[in-house]
Amino acid sequence: MIREIISTYFQNPNLHEDFHAICDTGGRFAGSKSEEDARFYLSNRLKKITGIYPVHQNIKYLGWSRVDASLVQLNGIQRSFPCVPLVRSPSTASDGLVAELINLGRGSEQDFHENASKIQGSVVLVQHEYVFATETIHRRRKYQWAMDHGAVGFLIACNLPQIGPVTGSSGATPERGIPAAGVSFETAQALIQAETTHVRLYIKTNEKPCETANLLVDLPGQEDEWVVLSAHIDGHHLAESAMDNATGLAAVCAIAEAMAPYMTHCKRGLRIALFNTEEWALAGSAFFLEELAPIEREAIKLNINLDTIAGSSHITALTSEFQKLEDWLLSTARSHGNEISAHSPLMANSDHFNFARHGIPAVRLVTGFNQPNSAIKFLLTPRDTREHVAHEDLENATALAMALVAEACSTEKMDLR
């Protein structure tokens, strides 16, 4: 049966059609018309694919949007530079924030420690890093260190030339935050080379209560056990959010279409979960799991989370410290002719994290891990566009995910905890 399901998938042209249609909606920033359009498209696709109208699980959250921003070099010849407020950055005062600029290079914990005496009251400048690598220091950690040391502003520079500014979540909360923005590689170099001592950072944002929705479809199996196949809808405004995460969304649709006719023959049911507000500290998946009764969470035997699965030809499984899960994934992938890598430490970089912290075996399939020269380097920049996704990479990653889903739904006994 599993071979038949996979064969059905390879005869289906809808994977690439869905991928391009999702990219056509735009970057899908939460609360934007782009995100609403994507939800509408995906809801209709899931209804057509499965014959079931998706449950729209409403999520209330504190919405945030950009209004305006600027960065001005004050010493010497005044120069203005473009900047992009990081997600959930607070606003500055109406006349901006004037402070000394401290360049901390990479922005490691040691960099902050060695410059602790200079950081109080300053705007710190750090470098963005390749997002999926063992040694990467996430921007939110740098942002927290900046606040811990008394900085009043935060700038993060794209690590690649001729790309433009970098974006992403700041990690600010209503209780704690400092104004934060992303700048281009060239802007950072201009500030450093001019030996800029003071800058004026101006950020205006808008916060208001908002509502969006997760999309959920249950395809029951023979028993009340479930495999959850997930991907996140929302993205960033600078580009199409093609790799992150139109690739995962298109793959979920293809897998749902292939699996739906066979679910009555499967031991476990398949729950399709398209989560929202993932870029809001994984808020959509957190809400989904917290709304479940303990017995319902216990019935979930596995979460397979598809997030950024094309942009490179090599897939890594982030296995969340579940050793049995890792062993099963590697052997199952190999049995279907796929050699994948595994990374065991629990990573809070996508929705699988919320399943894992509830004790549910959870894996994120991701491409480009420890491959800084892959197209994944363009995530969170204006280059996260469909042209960087090879058809073959998307097809192969989807086929792998489909094989894992089909095996997980069909296997007679499966204990991955």
Q: What is the pLDDT of residues 9-54, one digit of tens each?
A: 566 679 999 999 999 999 999 999 999 999 999 999 999 999 999 9
Which domains does the chain possess?
Answer: 2-62+210-410 (3.40.630.10), 64-208 (3.50.30.30)
Q: Is the peptide bond before 245 cis (omega within 30 degrees of 0)?
A: yes
pLDDT band per the 50, 70, 90 thresholds, residue 196: confident
pLDDT at position 235 is 97
Share of the chain above pLDDT 70, in %: 97
Q: Strand 97-103 relative to strand 123-127: parallel, antiparallel, unpaired?
A: parallel
Contact residues for 343 (Cβ-Cβ < 8 A; gap 6+): 134, 316, 317, 318, 319, 369
Half-sphere exposure of 296 (CA within 13 A, CB side): 9
CA-based radius of gyration for the chain? 22
Question: Looking at residues 249-265, what average pLDDT do you find?
Answer: 95
pLDDT at position 13 is 77
pLDDT at position 102 is 97
Question: Looking at residues 361-365, what average pLDDT do you find?
Answer: 98
Higher pLDDT, 163 or 12: 163
pLDDT tens for 90-148 read 999 999 999 999 999 999 999 999 999 999 999 999 999 999 999 999 999 999 999 99
Residue type for 114, please?
A: E
Q: At what angle do helices 391-410 and 14-24 cross, to 10 degrees?
A: 110
Identify the CA nearest to 119 among candidates 150, 97, 73, 156: 150
CA separation for the pair 247, 382 (Å, rounded): 17
pLDDT at position 6 is 67
| Residue 244, token pair as written in the block | 């992150």
**Ramachandran area for residue 25 (φ above 0: left; ψ -120 to 50: alpha; else beta):** alpha
Q: How far is Cα of residue 363 from the mean position of the Cα atoms in its chain?
A: 14
pLDDT at position 281 is 86
Query: Could you write out the DSSP letters of every residue in 271-327?
Result: EEEEE--TTTTTHHHHHHHHHS-HHHHHTEEEEEEESS--SSS-EEEE-TT-HHHHH
* CB 71, CB 194: distance < 8 Å: no
pLDDT at position 276 is 97
pLDDT at position 194 is 87
CA separation for the pair 141, 163 (Å, rounded): 23
pLDDT at position 8 is 65
CA separation for the pair 157, 125 (Å, rounded): 7
pLDDT at position 368 is 97
pLDDT tens for 300-318 read 999 999 999 999 999 999 9
Q: At what angle do helices 2-10 and 247-259 cross, to 10 degrees?
A: 120
CA separation for the pair 246, 21 (Å, rounded): 9
- Mean pLDDT score across all residues of the chain: 95
The whole-model pTM stands at: 0.96
